[in-house]
Structure 1
Amino acid sequence: MSGGDRARWDARHGAAQPSGAAPPGALAGAAELTACLPVSGRALDVACGRGGVAVWLARRGLVVDAVDVSPVGLAAGARLAASAGVAGRVRWVTHDLDAGLPADCRGPYDVVVCQLFRDPSRYADLAAALAPGGVLAITVLSEVDAGPGPFRAPAGELRTAFSDLETLLDRERDGEATLLARRVPVPRPPGSPPVRRPRS
């Protein structure tokens, strides 16, 4: 991403009205699936913008890494986290996602969220960051009901890219595509030692 793009996002976030914590867009119209998201563990919010989803996840009980290219957006998120009493549960990471995920944000995560940032070359990284049983919530702009565009996914892109995950919700309509999916845990052989995970 160029410096001009970063400045554009900074300007957009700087002009935006304050917003509150909100669940991932994948849950819009499907609130019953909220129970699929854990209430503890680690979460990654990719292209987190002003941090509304990151703070929602933190209030739910997760420890969150929130990544975005815009320092202005991240600063807004940090203020929101402080006002919500979860400042210590969110780490704000300034990073250009065109270069991939930050080196210290590779997982495993119990939840990975990516909203309205589409880069098919990053899809494998998002899937790889999931812990066994971890849930991915991703929404991108879509050609469905909207026609083609440089930032829009063709029909079926998310379903195909994450075909190795268990699909919980697959929705394409009104110019957006949404996928909620889970990495199925691999059963351990009887008597095998428990899997040790990094501390949050």
Structure 2
Amino acid sequence: MAVADRERWDARHAAAGAAGAGPSPAPPDALRGREALLPAPGRALDVACGRGTVAVWLAARGFAVDAVDVSPVALDAARALADREGVGERVRWWAHDLDAGLPGAGPYDVVVCQRFRDPARYPDLAARLAPGGLLVVTVLSQVGEGPGQFRAPAGELRAAFGDLELLHHVERDGEASLVARAPLTSATRSSRR
């Protein structure tokens, strides 16, 4: 991502902070009403975490969270939210350009990517999942909205994550969301019996 993109996001997050009340913890959009799908607390990755609402929500549920965003301004707001909610020690914040790939290594029990679309990163998201791990993705979509530079064509998420067990998928009103689970390995299956 170019420096101009980071500066644009910094300005956007600074304006949001200046507009009033800070963010509140919240589940990822695709998981609302499906929170029971969350696995037992373990490790979570929040990609393009913005001001940290999802990362802090996961940390409050016992997950150790790695949260990544290009904007230092967003990460400052995220740290403040985590501290305010008493989970600051459960989240590791990374300022990182996602055009260079995903930082850190998995496996993660939950991987969330909300409002960031880069099909080149899709294999990285799936590769970071632990066996049985949950993937939660929401992107802008052409479905119900029409074409656009940052909008996914119909069926993109389903095709990209076809090797995972699909738990929820919807495309409408300019958004596409997917919740899927990584397959269990044979060793994991036998240990759960």
Q: Note whether the superposition's TM-score is higher than 0.5.
A: yes
Runs of at least 4 residues off by over 6 Å: none
The whole-number CA distance in structure 2 between the counterparts of 1:148 and 1:189 is: 42
% identity of equivalent residues: 66
Q: CA RMSD in A?
A: 1.5
Letter in 2 for 1:2: A
In the other structure, the counterpart of 1:198 is none
TM-score with structure 2 length normalisation? 0.94
The whole-number CA distance in structure 2 between the counterparts of 1:134 and 1:27 is: 14
Letter in 2 for 1:58: A
The whole-number CA distance in structure 2 between the counterparts of 1:38 and 1:90 is: 18
Does the 8 Å contact 1:26/1:180 carry over to 2?
Answer: yes
Does the 8 Å contact 1:39/1:60 carry over to 2?
Answer: no
Query: Once the two structures are superposed, what CA deviation does each residue of 1:98-143 show, in whole Å capped at 9, x if it has no partner?
Result: 11011xx220000000011000000000000000010000000000
After superposition, the Cα gap between the structure-2 partners of 1:50 and 1:154, relative to the gap in structure 1 and judged at 3 Å, is same
In the other structure, the counterpart of 2:163 is 164
Do structure 1's residue 141 and structure 2's residue 140 form an aligned pair?
Answer: yes
Within-5 A mapping of 1:1-80: 1-16=1-16, 17=20, 18-28=22-32, 31=33, 33-80=34-81
Do structure 1's residue 174 and structure 2's residue 178 form an aligned pair?
Answer: no
Q: Is there any run of 5+ residues in structure 2 with no aligned partner, and where?
A: none
Q: Is there any run of 5+ residues in structure 1 with no aligned partner, and where?
A: 195-200
TM-score with structure 1 length normalisation? 0.90
Q: Secondary structure at the match of 1:188?
A: helix
Deviation at 1:189, TM superposition (A): 9.0
Does the 8 Å contact 1:63/1:89 carry over to 2?
Answer: yes
